[in-house]
Chain A
Amino acid sequence: KAGVTQTPRYLIKTRGQQVTLSCSPISGHRSVSWYQQTPGQGLQFLFEYFSETQRNKGNFPGRFSGRQFSNSRSEMNVSTLELGDSALYLCASSLAGTSYTGELFFGEGSRLTVL
């Protein structure tokens, strides 16, 4: 079956702009999580959605937001981009229901460069 699909794979923005990243989970998966990966901070949790509801949020400023649609597809948005937002943004899906026990299936990520 198809894996997690993230678009776009690469993008370049300038400071102050905003960006929207998209994630299509594996068919049947209702949970979508987002992670930011940078050389300095490593992999950090952004947020997790299940059935269109945000269940958990990491320690990121309000410029980072997300949403999930009824078909489980998710988008994340970063407004007023800063140089430090340059990172690989990874989306992951899982079957997780009322509690987290399942493994995450990750996409290949969207690599954002902010100039």
Chain B
Amino acid sequence: AQKVTQAQTEISVVEKEDVTLDCVYETRDTTYYLFWYKQPPSGELVFLIRRNSFDEQNEISGRYSWNFQKSTSSFNFTITASQVVDSAVYFCALSEDNYKLSFGAGTTVTVRA
């Protein structure tokens, strides 16, 4: 069975600090996809990034970057120079190509001005 663990329940930072969100996953498949979503107070989940299990290249997209390590089953996400608008709940998710996502419990990020 799939499982996604986000050990951090809440993170509070001051604006312009970096924030790193941890995600550890469990799967028996060799082909899978990992995602990060953001949920602002309005409720909708906003897609941030996607990674497939065959691509461990870490990238940076604007203020977002991620670190995917299959050896440790981790898919961490970093927001650089955080802003107040980054305050939201962030979810890590796993899909084993069966049309559904398994989400972690979420990490609430609060960025203070």
Using a CB–CB cutoff of 8 Å, the interface residues on chain A facing chain B are 3-4, 31, 33, 35, 42-43, 45, 48, 50, 55-56, 58, 88, 90, 92, 96, 99-101, 103-109, 111
Contacts and interface: CB of A to CB of B under 8 A. Distances in A.
Contacts of A48: 99-100
A1 B35 CA distance: 23
B45 A92 contact: yes
A100 B45 contact: no
B101 A106 contact: no
Contact of B98 (A42, A88, A100, A107): A100
A32 B16 CA distance: 37
A88 B101 CA distance: 17
Given A42-B105, A43-B91, A101 B52 contact: yes
Contacts of B46: 106
Nearest to A9: B43
Given A42-B106, A100-B33, A55 B99 contact: yes
Given A35-B101, A104-B47, 8 more contacts: A3-B44, A42-B106, A43-B106, A90-B43, A96-B99, A104-B45, A108-B42, A108-B44
Contacts of A33: 99-101
B50 interface: yes
Interface in B1-51: 33, 35, 37, 42-47, 50
B106 A100 contact: no
